[in-house]
Amino acid sequence: MTTLAERPSASRSRSPFRRPLAETGLGSWFTTVDHKRIGILYFVSAMVFFVIGGVEALLIRLQLATPDGQVLTIDQYNQIFTMHGLTMVFFAVMPLGSAFFNYLLPLMIGARDVAFPRLNAFSYWVFLAAGLFIYSSVLLGGMPDGGWFGYAPLSLVGGDPLGYTIGDATTTQTIAGNTVAEGQRMVFYSLGLQIAGIASLASAVNFIVTILNMRAPGMTLMRMPVFVWMILIVSFLMLFAMPVIGVALWELMMDTSFGANFFDPAQGGDPVLWQHMFWLFGHPEVYILILPAFGIVSEILPVFSRKPLFGYTAIVFSGIAIGFIGWGVWAHHMFAVGLGPVANSAFGLSTMFIAVPTGIKIFNWIGTMWDGRLRLTTPMLFSIGLVAMFTIGGLSGVTHAVVPHNWQQTDTYYVVAHFHYVLFGGAIFGLMAGAYYWYPKATGRLMNERLGKAHFWIQLVGFNLTFAPHHILGLNGMPRRVATYEDGYGWNFWNLVSTVGAFVIALGVLVFIINLVISYKRGAEAGPDPWDARTVEWLTTSPPPPHNWDQVPNIRARDELWQRKYPTQGQREQVRVPAGGSGELEGDVAPGTTAPTEGTTGATQSPYTISDPGYDKGVRHDVHMPSPSYYPLIAAFGLPIAAYGVIFDQPAGFVFYAVGALLVLGGLFGWVLEPPTDPSAEVAHQ
Amino acid sequence: MTVDVHSPESTADHGHHTSLGISNTKLAMWCFIGSECLFFGALISAYLIYINERADGPGAELFDIEFTSASTFILLMSSLSMVLALAGIQAGDMRRFRIWIVATGLMGSVFLAGQIYEFTVFLSEGANVTVSPFWSAFFLLTGFHGVHVAFGILMLIAAWASSLTGRLRMENAETIENLGLYWHFVDVVWILLFTLVYLIPALGGGGS
Amino acid sequence: MAESEHSYHPGRREYIQIGVILTVLTAIEVGLFYADPPPAVAIPVLLALTALKFILVVFWFMHLRFDTPLFRRLFFTGGILATIIYGIVAATFYFGGA
The domain segmentation of chain C, as residue ranges, is: 1-67, 68-98
State whether A268 and B133 contact (CB < 8 Å).
yes
Instruction: Give the best-scoring range by mean pLDDT among A161-165, A510-514, A672-676.
Output: A510-514
Could you give the dihedral angle defined by the CA atoms of residues A269, A271, A277 and A278, in that order, rounded to the nearest 10 degrees? 150
If you measure CA to CA, which chain C residue comes closest to B41?
C82
Q: Please report residues of C whose CB lies closer than 8 A to that of A330.
A: 85
Give the Å distances, CA to CA, from B62 to A598, B199, B204, C39.
78, 12, 13, 19
Please give the backbone phi and psi of residue A180, each rounded to the nearest 5 degrees, phi first.
-120, 130
Percent of chain A with pLDDT over 90: 69
If you measure CA to CA, which chain C residue comes closest to B187?
C57
Query: Please, what is the end-to-end C-alpha distance for chain C in angstroms?
Result: 57
Task: Measure A279 CA to nearest chain C CA, in Å.
Answer: 11
Whether the predicted pLDDT of A147 surpasses 70: yes
If you measure CA to CA, which chain C residue comes closest to B25?
C2
Question: A236: closest CA among A127, A326, A364, A115?
Answer: A326
A107, A213, A657: best to mutate for the B interface, most B CBs within 10 A: A213
* Cβ-based neighbour number of residue A341 at 10 Å: 9
Contacts of A249 (CB under 8 A, 6+ apart): A189, A190, A191, A193, A194, A197
* Cβ-based neighbour number of residue B38 at 10 Å: 25
Of C78, C89, C92, the CB nearest to A240: C78
Of B83, B84, B207, the CB nearest to C36: B207
Euclidean distance between CA atoms A119 and A201, whole angstroms: 11
Q: Residue B9 domain-assigned?
A: no
Contacts of A305 (CB under 8 A, 6+ apart): A368, A369, A372, A373, A374
Domain range for B51 is 28-204
Q: Please report residues of C whose CB lies closer than 8 A to that of B44.
A: 86
State whether C78 and B37 contact (CB < 8 Å).
yes
A233, A342, A347, A349: best to mutate for the C interface, most C CBs within 10 A: A342
Euclidean distance between CA atoms A239 and A209, whole angstroms: 12
Spell out which chain C residues touch chain A, with contact meaning CB-CB distance below 8 angstroms.
70, 77-78, 81, 85, 89, 92-93, 95-98
* Per-residue model confidence (pLDDT) at position A47: 97
* Per-residue model confidence (pLDDT) at position A564: 87
Question: A208: closest CA among C77, C96, B159, B190?
Answer: C77
Task: Measure B153 CA to nearest chain A CA, in Å.
Answer: 13
Chains B–C, number of C-beta pairs less than 8 Å apart: 147
* Per-residue model confidence (pLDDT) at position A176: 46
Mean pLDDT along residues A644-659: 88
Whether the predicted pLDDT of A623 surpasses 70: no
Euclidean distance between CA atoms C14 and C16, whole angstroms: 5
Q: Residue B19 domain-assigned?
A: no
Euclidean distance between CA atoms B190 and B204, whole angstroms: 20
Give the Å distances, CA to CA, from A125 to A441, A445, B32.
24, 28, 20
* Per-residue model confidence (pLDDT) at position A267: 81
Mean pLDDT along residues A613-625: 49
State whether C54 and B21 contact (CB < 8 Å).
no
| Residue A601 pLDDT level (bands cut at 50, 70, 90) | very low
If you measure CA to CA, which chain A residue comes closest to B5?
A217
| Residue C7 pLDDT level (bands cut at 50, 70, 90) | low
If you measure CA to CA, which chain C residue comes closest to A329?
C85
* Per-residue model confidence (pLDDT) at position A662: 95
| Residue A65 pLDDT level (bands cut at 50, 70, 90) | very high
State whether C98 and A240 contact (CB < 8 Å).
no
Q: What is chain A's mean pLDDT, rounded? A: 86
Return the half-sphere exposure (C-beta side, CA atoms, 13 A cut-off) of residue A683.
1
Euclidean distance between CA atoms A22 and C47, whole angstroms: 57
* Per-residue model confidence (pLDDT) at position C39: 83
Euclidean distance between CA atoms A636 and A666, whole angstroms: 11
Of A276, A338, A341, the CB nearest to C89: A276
Euclidean distance between CA atoms B81 and A462, whole angstroms: 65
Mean pLDDT along residues A259-285: 91
If you measure CA to CA, which chain B residue comes closest to C63?
B181
Mean pLDDT along residues A395-423: 94
State whether B34 and A239 contact (CB < 8 Å).
yes
Report the alpha-carbon angle A197-A294-A114, nearest 5: 50
DSSP string, A608-637: T-TT-GGGGGS------PPPP-SHHHHHHH
State whether A214 and B20 contact (CB < 8 Å).
no
Mean pLDDT along residues A161-167: 38
Euclidean distance between CA atoms C20 and C36, whole angstroms: 25
Model pLDDT for residues A178-235, shown as the tens digit of each residue: 444 456 888 999 999 999 999 999 999 999 999 999 999 999 999 999 999 999 999 9
Model pLDDT for residues C57-75, shown as the tens digit of each residue: 999 999 998 888 999 999 9
Model pLDDT for residues C32-48, shown as the tens digit of each residue: 888 888 888 888 999 99
* Per-residue model confidence (pLDDT) at position A26: 82
Whether the predicted pLDDT of A480 surpasses 90: yes
State whether A339 and C92 contact (CB < 8 Å).
yes
Q: Residue B21 domain-assigned?
A: no
Q: Kindly report the CATH number assigned to the domain that includes residue B134.
A: 1.20.120.80
State whether B82 and C61 contact (CB < 8 Å).
yes
Q: Please report residues of C whose CB lies closer than 8 A to that of A331.
A: 92
Question: A606: closest CA among A531, A520, A555, A550?
Answer: A531
Mean pLDDT along residues A320-340: 93
Task: Measure B208 CA to nearest chain A CA, in Å.
Answer: 25
Chains A–B, number of C-beta pairs less than 8 Å apart: 176
* Per-residue model confidence (pLDDT) at position A374: 95
Of B11, B46, B168, the CB nearest to A262: B46
Give per-residue burial for A430-447: e unless 16+ CB within 10 Å, then b.
bbbbbbbbbbbbbbbbbb
C6, C18, C30: best to mutate for the B interface, most B CBs within 10 A: C30
Residue A446 · residue A523 · CB < 8 Å: yes
Of A270, A277, A340, the CB nearest to C97: A340
Model pLDDT for residues A72-106, shown as the tens digit of each residue: 998 899 999 999 999 999 999 999 999 999 999 99
* Per-residue model confidence (pLDDT) at position C93: 87
Whether the predicted pLDDT of A494 surpasses 60: yes
DSSP string, A552-583: PPPP-STTHHHHHHS-B-SSS-B----TT-ST
Percent of chain A with pLDDT over 70: 84
Whether the predicted pLDDT of A304 surpasses 70: yes
Higher pLDDT, A28 or A19: A28
State whether A340 and C98 contact (CB < 8 Å).
yes
Q: Residue B118 domain-assigned?
A: yes
Overall domain count for chain B: 1
Touching subunits of A (3+ CB pairs, under 8 Å) are: B, C
* Per-residue model confidence (pLDDT) at position B11: 38
Give the Å distances, CA to CA, from A150 to A52, A187, A468, A637.
20, 11, 26, 25
Question: Tens-of-pLDDT digits for all 208 residues of chain B?
Answer: 333 333 333 334 344 468 888 899 999 999 999 999 999 999 999 999 999 888 888 888 899 999 999 999 999 999 999 999 999 999 999 999 999 999 999 999 999 999 999 999 999 998 989 899 999 999 999 999 999 999 999 999 999 999 999 889 899 999 999 999 999 999 999 999 999 999 988 887 433 3
Q: Residue B42 domain-assigned?
A: yes
* Per-residue model confidence (pLDDT) at position B54: 86
Whether the predicted pLDDT of A584 surpasses 50: no
Model pLDDT for residues A503-518, shown as the tens digit of each residue: 999 999 999 999 999 9
Question: Hey, which residues does A648 pair with through a beta bridge?
Answer: A180
| Residue A6 pLDDT level (bands cut at 50, 70, 90) | very low
Residue-level length of chain B: 208
Task: Measure A444 CA to nearest chain B CA, in Å.
Answer: 25
Higher pLDDT, A675 or B106: B106
Residue B126 · residue B68 · CB < 8 Å: no
State whether C62 and B14 contact (CB < 8 Å).
no
Residue-level length of chain A: 686
* Per-residue model confidence (pLDDT) at position A602: 36
Model pLDDT for residues A346-360, shown as the tens digit of each residue: 999 999 999 999 999
* Per-residue model confidence (pLDDT) at position A155: 83
* Cβ-based neighbour number of residue B7 at 10 Å: 14
Touching subunits of B (3+ CB pairs, under 8 Å) are: A, C
| Residue A647 pLDDT level (bands cut at 50, 70, 90) | confident
Q: Residue B2 domain-assigned?
A: no
Task: Measure C91 CA to nearest chain A CA, in Å.
Answer: 10
If you measure CA to CA, which chain B residue comes closest to C75?
B34
Q: Residue B178 domain-assigned?
A: yes
Whether the predicted pLDDT of A108 surpasses 80: yes
| Residue A291 pLDDT level (bands cut at 50, 70, 90) | very high
